[in-house]
Chains A and B, each alone.
Chain A
Amino acid sequence: MATKLISGATLVTSVINGDEITFQCEPRDSLLDVLRETLNLTGAKEGCNNGNCGACNVIMDGTLVNSCCVLAVETEGSRISTIEGIATADGLHPIQTAYLENAALQCGVCTPGFIVSTKALLDKNPSPTEHEIRFWLAGNLCRCTGYDKIVRAVQDAAEKMQEA
């Protein structure tokens, strides 16, 4: 979609993972459409396209959102962090390391959404209780793990980030 000029398209500029990016989109394109199809940021996954599974979660201006439920045109001037922006050149984020060390993923397709949600939680609440973790992550569906190891990974990440 990026390669042709779309009639009726709008130009939108936002900051994505620290880079100011201008893209064109149709009014009906979601942020998820643009991330995946236009910007090739395929880490956000489509599991339901109506806000029920959390696989497409990104952080927009400090708030956790389902990118499938945000219209791309709404992101003008926003700062957006996707899964691709969590690790740095220095290495993995402690949340990512905790997911690996706790075997908190199986098929891995929900994992980007969970990691982004976990980051939004720990940014807000650095030492959540188990109940707070489960409440916060209730918007992310995982069908493989039964959530046990995910909750433990979040607890582990919180602990390590507190120590750091």
Chain B
Amino acid sequence: MATRTPELVKSGDFNVIGKRPIRHDGVDKVTGRAAYGADIFLPGMLYGKVLRSPHAHATIMSIDTSKAEAIPGVHAVVTYTDLPEPGEGMTELNESGEQATYFKAYNMLAREKVLYDGHAIAAVAATDPHIAEDAVRRIEVEYEHHPPIMNSQQAIDSNGVLLLPDIFTDTEGEIDAAPSNITKHVIYEEGDIEAGFAAADVVVDNEYETATVHQGYIETHNATARWHEDGTLEVWCSSQGQFGIRQELSDLLQMPVSRIKVTPMEIGGGFGGKTTIYIEILAALLSKKTDRPVKMTMDRAEVLKATGPTPGTWEKAKIGATKDGKITAAHVTLYFEAGAFPGSPLAPGCMTALSPYSLKNFRIDGYEVLVNKPHSHAYRAPGSTMSEFAVETAVDEICETLDMDPLKFRLLNASKEGDLRVDGPPFTRVGNIECLENIENSDHWRTRLEQSKEPHLKRGRGIASGFWMNGGGMSSAQGRLNPDGTVTLLEGSVDIGGTRTSVAMQLAEVLGIPVEDVNPIVPDTDSIGYTGVTGGSRVTYATGYAAHEAAHDMIRQMIDGIAGYWDAQPSDVHFEDGQFSSDGKSLSFKKAAKILDDEDVGILGTASVAPSQPGSTFSVQVADVEVDTETGKVQILRYTGTQDAGIAIYPPYVEGQLQGGIVQGIGWALNEEYFYDQDGRLRNASLLDYRMPTALDLPMIETIITEVPNPGHPYGVRGVGEVSIIPPPAAISNAIHDAVGVRMRELPMSPPKVQKAIAANGG
């Protein structure tokens, strides 16, 4: 039992960890009984719907809600005037930094202007969703139109068109005098890049673009609110963290968090996009105004138009290397579209861009720009897929110029323990090299790719790496011993993909009981200590850490209780391999539970922890593609990925995170993009036209779990949720180059673009 020294940790040493139990919430989820956010129905409930702007950029001249309010069955209409006037404060954006509360309020309900197609203007509550929809259509809004700003170049060269009047570029604390659509310029640098490039035998210098893409969770946003007569508010919604939702509601409603209770419903996917509020605030305002519970759900078009997709980017990567393959310098420039309001994952994009490599001379310039698109939000390893796409493609271009094996090049330049990260701190023990070696030794890498017999089908192989920091932060857990020897585990982290079990397994490991004897529950904000979002790949790491500590607290209390029962000193009672023992006497965990209950000794182990060494992680992936040179279509033939899990607590779900992230990355690489017309209207706001990968598009996704234990966790855990999405775009771009000799530097690499590139290259 007890904590093992991480250096000694090997998966095989455990009783529970590393096994493949059935997840606790599985039966509810395969029978349709699990209650997601939209599955709640309260007595007397009204239905809310939202009026959204059809325009990308316009001043609101007037809003007339009178015709809507006159419809029978309509109980209330709210606009921005129903929100308390926001103060000067800041609101957390969780994985995307923080944002002025004023802008958060402005995004929830438009005030002076509408700033993107889909921007919420008003919300209606009615007795029936159809009536609410009818009422929304009767709200009259007059607009004065402005030219939309739809990409970084337009934002920079805007001819005086500004989205927001009071934005002045902040360059590392220096504020420009003139207003701009560029919110900030961040710089990370070390060494001397000029000297580094001068020492290079080969330099590549190219530009890259990535499209705005959406997280694409299958469950749309939902919220049900009930404002009570005593001024307290209850909210039920699916989110990546009940405490974050509570905080944002508190900030916008200007009421203490203790007056708000948020109950996390089962969540149908988030990937970063559900770490914030959208309609939760509207449901709350409508409930306050109507004195009835109000339920709201978004439709798919609303999700695509008006939640938080990831920024589109324009990037430059210049890398120099010696002829024997050592990188001498790198300069990366990133332009991230924040969307209509400041705040984007620019910093993590900068911090990860070059991290797979050990570098002496580098500079990263990051710019955040405002465009008339929805305010961007976190998407799995936020910012990194874009920045590492540029760098990992540029690295392949260096290898091509040097005629060098891209895996050997990466091994030669790999970052390792003690190297300084771009953002300052040195890497702790990391598994970059082990991941590369696991791919080098994989069946996939060692099997030669055969060419097709069809002359128009060309095959190629590409490789790319990815790096993600991972997150720590506060998590809480409570273990309550039941008389039958089972444990009820309260843990604060919303479970998106099996973490009830990965957290329960860590508690069970300490207690020496089967994980089936643990009943994990994710409670509301009043029933468990503060726990950060299910984001940053932090749950199995930080909440698992809390469960580990809570289990030890239980053992301490049980030892005290059994010492009393045996009339012994607690220091003479020992717990090992599931048995309490002292002076020749011994009790199993189950028998001890029964005796303690008979003796009226209650056992409630608790822990709130904030571990700060999540252990960064790497992923290395290899893609085989087949390019149809006639149509430009790219088919994935074979795909293998590895990532460093530290220690894989619950391996089937570690594999699942790898496979899921890889396939999201494949969609980002090949198909997915926001398609806006000249007027700034989103023209593909459906799951038919926003084309995510289907089962038919893909082969099996082969996984290899690399295990380099994290010294910052009692069981060696590293977060596994995010890094896998980063390598696919570059791995596939590099594979396309290997197949047909063209460099794709713009995402998505959709058939028309690939075909055009092949034609430009002489067919």
Which residues does A use to contact B, with CB under 8 Å?
1, 26, 28, 36, 40-50, 52-53, 55, 82-84, 86-87, 92, 96, 99-103, 105-112, 115, 133-135, 137-152
Contacts and interface: CB of A to CB of B under 8 A. Distances in A.
A45 B36 contact: yes
Interface stretch (B21-29, B365-373, B457-465, B627-635): B21-29
Contacts of A143: 215-218, 269, 271, 660, 664, 692
A112 B653 CA distance: 19
B639 to A, nearest CB: 9
Given A144-B656, A148-B659, A105 B41 contact: no
B686 A103 contact: no
Residue from the set A1, A36, A108, A145 with the largest chain B CB neighbour count within 10 Å: A108
A144 B268 CA distance: 9
Contacts of A111: 29-30
B626 to A, nearest CB: 15
B253 interface: no
A146 B300 contact: no
Contact of A141 (B22, B39, B694): B694
A88 B37 CA distance: 26
A96 B31 contact: yes
B217 A145 contact: no
B300 A49 contact: yes
A140 B656 contact: no
A83 B36 contact: no
Given A52-B687, A101-B22, A146-B662, A108 B29 contact: yes
B219 interface: yes
A100 to B, nearest CB: 5
7 contacts: A42-B36, A92-B31, A106-B656, A107-B267, A115-B30, A143-B218, A145-B656
A111 B659 CA distance: 17
B31 A146 contact: no
B663 interface: yes
Contact of A53 (B218, B652, B656): B218
Given A45-B268, A140-B695, A149-B656, A50 B688 contact: yes
B173 interface: no
A106 B692 CA distance: 17
Interface string B518-535: 000000000000000000
Contacts of A147: 659, 663, 693-695, 698
B1 interface: no
A9 B35 CA distance: 29
Interface in B454-509: 496-498
Which of B218, B662, B688, B700 is the most central at the interface, judged by chain A CB atoms within 10 Å of its CB?
A: B218
Given A47-B300, A50-B688, A106-B656, A146 B698 contact: yes
Interface of B: 20, 22-23, 25-27, 29-36, 38-39, 41, 128, 130, 215-220, 266-271, 297, 299-300, 496-498, 652-653, 655-656, 659-664, 686-688, 692-696, 698, 700-701
Contacts of A110: 218, 268
Contacts of A142: 218, 695
B497 A138 contact: no
Contacts of A107: 217-219, 266-270, 496-497
Nearest to A116: B32
Nearest to B639: A146
Contacts of B687: 47-48, 50, 52-53, 141
B682 to A, nearest CB: 15
A49 B187 CA distance: 45
B219 A145 contact: no
A49 B299 CA distance: 7
Contact of A109 (B25, B218, B694): B218
Contact of B220 (A46, A100, A140): A46
B268 A108 contact: yes
A85 B35 CA distance: 17
B660 A48 contact: no
B269 A109 contact: yes
B721 to A, nearest CB: 10
Query: Which of A40, A50, A109, A110 has the most chain B CB atoms closer than 10 A to its own CB?
Result: A109
Given A144-B269, A146-B664, 6 more contacts: A55-B218, A83-B32, A84-B33, A86-B31, A103-B20, A108-B266
Central interface residue in A42, A84, A147, by most chain B CB within 10 Å: A147
Contacts of B30: 92, 96, 99-100, 105, 108, 111-112, 115
7 shortest A-B CB distances, which residue pairs?
A43-B32, A109-B268, A146-B663, A108-B29, A106-B497, A83-B32, A103-B652
B658 to A, nearest CB: 8
B38 A46 contact: yes
A50 B269 contact: no
Nearest to A106: B497
B264 to A, nearest CB: 13
Nearest to A85: B32
A150 B32 contact: no
Nearest to B215: A143
A161 to B, nearest CB: 16
Given A28-B130, A109-B269, A138-B696, A87 B686 contact: no
A146 B661 CA distance: 8
